Each structure stands twice: as C-alpha cells, then as structure tokens.
C-alpha cells in the first residue's frame, strides 16, 4: 500500500501505479499467461487450457489482502498467487489447472514480472528526462548571457551565467539518458530457469519454450537464467542513483539561490505553495526539497541492492527478499524528483536585477581576477597578483569600490586607462566561454534526442 500522506509529494502517480499491488500482480500474471501460450506453441499445453489461463490472469480477480497474508507464510508473492490462479482456472476449466505455471519457479514469475514493470518505469523515466532536458535546453539558451555571481566554497568567485549553470544540469541529464539507453538491452530480459536454473522439467522443449516466452513478453532471452546474478537490476538502480544525485544538485542550487540573502531565482509560485504554518512571509523551496530528499534517500537504497548481490548458490535467502521493495522505491523517488524538477525548470522566476546587485555586493572584488590577468601581461604574474591583492584589501578596509581604489593606484593607472578599467570591471565582459558551454550542451542534447 502506498503512503497516501506523502506519495503526492515524493512520487509521480504514474510510477506509483506501475509499482502498486495491482501492478505487481499483473506483471506476474502476464508472465503466467505468456508461459501458457509459449508452452502451447511447443505442444506442452492444449490450446483449450490457454484461454482459461489467460482469462484468469487479471489482477482485479484476486484479493490483495488475502495474498498478503499468505505471503507471510509462503515467503514470496508468487507461491500464493499461483495457487490462487490455479483455483480460478479450475473453477472455469478444471482440466486446465494442471498446466498453470508448468516448469517455472516462483522467482521466474516474480523477476520476469518485475522486468515488465521496469520496462514501463524505464519508459516513464526516459520520457520525463527528455521533457526536463528540453525545458533546461530552452532556459539555458534564454539565459545564456544572464550574469550572476559564481560561487566557490559558498563564497563569491567570478561571474558565470544562469544559462551555464542550467547547461551543466542538462549535460548530466543527457549522459544519464545515454546510460539508460545503453543498459536497456541488458535489463529487459526474461527470467526463466525453473527450480534450479536448468529448466530440466521441460526436457528438450526447454529452449523452444524459453524463446517463445521471451518473444511473447517482448523481452530478450539472456544467455542463461539469472536467479542469483543481480547485476542487471543493480546497474539500473545505480544509474537511477546518478539521476537522483544530479537532480539533487539542481535542487540544492535552486534552494541556495532562493535564500533571502541571494534572492536571485525562485521556484514558480502558487497559492499556498512554500508557506509556513507560523510565518506568513515565507516562500520555501518545496520542490527543491523533494529533489534533495530523493538524492539523500536513493544512495542508501542503491547500497542495499549492492549489498544484496552476493546471493547464495542458485536461489538466495534474504538477499533476494531485500530487493523487493527497494528497487521500486528508487523508481518512485526518482519519478517524484523528475516531476518536481520539471515544475521548477519550466516556471522558474529569475530576478536579473537582484543578480546584478549581488554581483556588485563586494564592490568590484569579483572582477579582481580580470584586472590581474591583464596586468600580469604587463607587470608579471606575481607582481600583478600582489598589487591586486593589496588593492582589494584596501577597498575592503576603506569600504570603497575596487574601481575607485584601482583608479587611485599609480601602478595600475600607469598601465590601464579609465575605459580599460571600466570594461574589466563589467561582469558582462568576463563571462569567458559560458555561451559556448551552453551551445555545446544543447547541441549534445539535440544530437541524442534526434
């Protein structure tokens, strides 16, 4: 059962539906129906039984509460579900019951059902990543020349642009989309090995049935069953961990830019959004909180899957069980973060005037490097650096703008004209390759999307 109080905040409804109780049951039932069809094609199941089994493979026909109680005794979800399926089939076509789950094992149904869910989850995540990337590309281009303070170690550094910051997130998302595309064929594979992975129960029909079953489910047939080789699932989880981390970085920067002391960029406003129970003036970064929260929670869940990899022999005790809720929860958290990131990206409110004021907050100090670089070509690097450092200290001590201090310094005025100083201390003239970085990130996004 989903957590109804928090699901709307942390999880996208479409993802929660994929991993709902009904979604889990339907994944296993789709496996069972496809298995019957595949075995009928191999002559192991009469076609009359297939129809009865398919008719019974509808999740809404089963009592989730009763199955949950039975799982507590059986140890997994497939055992009571297969029993219930057999009873439903027998109630309609008694002789068809003997062909239910023929030659399969519980983990075949559960893992293959999970892969079917993951296929839907992957499509949803890829769609949302693409939509967010499109939005970030558009915003990055729009703000390619919007200057703001660059911050290193949380201190004012040199100017950057908002477009450059957004392009950094865009580049990360493009790489994650590439990773998901690359792992897709490794992830979307059938699990079908029978009791110990050899499919001995199906004799000479084993491989033909496996091939037909994979085709029925539109999955690839791996080189062998992977009951205790969990690298495919862990790889997917690890990439989702990367996605969560990049979204968390985006959320962290947005929240810092929303701080009262900065006030440069804001999440889109809405009635009642981001308020406080006691302080009417508050505008909290509630969307960014979801991104940061997911980035905080997902790594621990990913580590659980890594810890569950050394599974015993041909079927694991406990380690496999540790996966059941972990991977779905990762998918749900990432989906919620993507939804909130999209809302932030498409509706962000940018205060360019405040950005300019903050650039001037240190009265020209953020452009000291620009002056030092030019002076170094005329006075030498060390002498220019020492001179600028002294001028900066004097500006701070006297509460004066660096431009005024530099203009009064004979060693500087002897080398740089007033116009040169004005230009060097204009943030718009010290943005380096920011526009190029934006163009390159957008081009990479467009190449991948094409």
Which sequence positions are flagged as catalytic?
276, 315
Cα–Cα distance measured from residue 333 to residue 6, given in angstroms and rounded to the nearest whole number:
11
What's the CA gap between 55 and 77, in Å, rounded? 20
Q: CA 170 to CA 190: how far, in whole Å?
A: 33
Hunting for tokens 């477009």 — which residue is that? 163
Range 399-427 burial, b when 16+ CB lie within 10 A, else e: eebbbebbeebeebeebbeeeebeebbbb
- Residue 152 CB coordination number (10 Å): 8
Distance CA(378)–CA(413), nearest Å, equals 12
Sequence-distant (6+) residues with CB within 8 A of 60 are 22
Residue with tokens 């979801």: 290
Q: How far is CA 66 from the centre of its chain?
A: 35
Q: What is the DSSP letter of 365?
A: G
Q: Which residues are 155's β-sheet partners?
A: 152
**Angle, helices 47-56/21-41, rounded to nearest 10 degrees:** 180
The CA–CA distances, whole Å, from 83 to 113, 351, 405 equal 17, 62, 85
Cβ atoms < 10 Å from Cβ of 278: 6
Q: In the numeric block, which tokens belong to residue 100?
A: 């239910």
Cα(425)–Cα(147) distance, integer angstroms: 13
Cα 307 from Cα 27, distance rounded (Å): 26
Give CB contacts under 8 A, 24+ apart, made by 319-322: 320/107, 320/228, 320/230, 321/76
The answer for residues whose C-beta is within 8 angstroms of residue 79's C-beta and 6 or more apart is 70, 71, 106
* Rounded Cα gap, residues 126 and 240, in angstroms: 11
Q: Which two tokens stand for residue 275?
A: 């308020």
| Coil vs helix vs strand at 27 | helix
Distance between the two ends of the chain, CA-based, in angstroms? 39
Residue 61 CA to residue 81 CA, distance in Å, equals: 11
């Amino acid at each position: 059962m989903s957590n109804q109080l928090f699901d709307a905040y942390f999880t996208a409804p479409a993802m929660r539906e994929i991993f709902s109780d009904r979604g889990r049951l339907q994944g296993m039932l789709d496996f069972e129906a496809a298995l019957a069809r595949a075995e009928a094609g191999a002559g192991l199941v009469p076609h009359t039984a297939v129809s009865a089994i398919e008719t019974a493979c509808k999740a809404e026909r089963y009592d989730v509460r009763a199955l949950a109680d039975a799982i507590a005794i059986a140890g997994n979800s497939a055992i009571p579900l297969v029993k219930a399926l057999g009873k439903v089939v027998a109630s309609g076509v008694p002789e068809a019951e003997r062909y239910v789950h023929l030659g399969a094992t519980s983990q075949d149904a559960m893992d293959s059902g999970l892969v079917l869910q993951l296929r839907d989850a992957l499509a949803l995540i890829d769609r949302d990543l693409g939509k967010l990337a499109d939005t970030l590309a558009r915003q990055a281009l729009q703000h390619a020349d919007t200057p703001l303070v660059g911050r290193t170690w949380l201190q004012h550094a040199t100017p950057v642009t908002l477009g450059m910051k957004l392009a950094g997130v865009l580049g990360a998302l493009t790489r994650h989309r590439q990773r998901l595309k690359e792992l897709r064929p490794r992830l979307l594979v059938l699990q079908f090995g029978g009791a110990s992975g050899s499919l001995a129960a199906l004799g000479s029909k084993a491989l033909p049935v496996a091939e037909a079953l994979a085709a029925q489910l539109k999955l690839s047939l791996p080189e062998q069953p992977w009951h205790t080789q969990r690298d495919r699932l862990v790889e997917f989880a690890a990439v989702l961990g990367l996605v969560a981390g990049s979204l968390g970085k985006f959320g962290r920067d947005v929240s810092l830019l929303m701080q009262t002391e900065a006030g440069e960029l804001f999440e889109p406003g809405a009635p009642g959004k981001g308020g406080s129970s006691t302080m009417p003036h508050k505008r909290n970064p509630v969307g960014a909180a979801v991104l940061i929260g997911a980035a905080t929670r997902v790594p621990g869940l990913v580590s659980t899957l890594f810890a569950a990899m050394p599974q015993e022999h041909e079927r694991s005790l406990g380690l496999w069980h540790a996966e059941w809720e972990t991977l779905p929860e990762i998918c749900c958290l990432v989906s919620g973060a993507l939804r909130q990131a999209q809302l932030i990206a498409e509706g962000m409110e940018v205060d360019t005037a405040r950005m300019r004021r903050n650039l001037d907050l240190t009265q020209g100090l953020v452009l000291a490097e620009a002056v030092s670089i030019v002076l170094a070509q005329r006075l030498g690097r060390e002498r220019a650096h020492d001179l600028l450092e002294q001028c900066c200290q004097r500006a701070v001590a006297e509460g004066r703008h660096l431009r005024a201090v530099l203009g009064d310094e004979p060693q500087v005025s002897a080398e740089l004209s007033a116009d040169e100083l004005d230009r060097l201390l204009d943030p718009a003239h010290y943005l380096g390759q920011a526009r190029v970085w934006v163009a390159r990130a957008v081009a990479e996004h467009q190449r991948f999307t094409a």
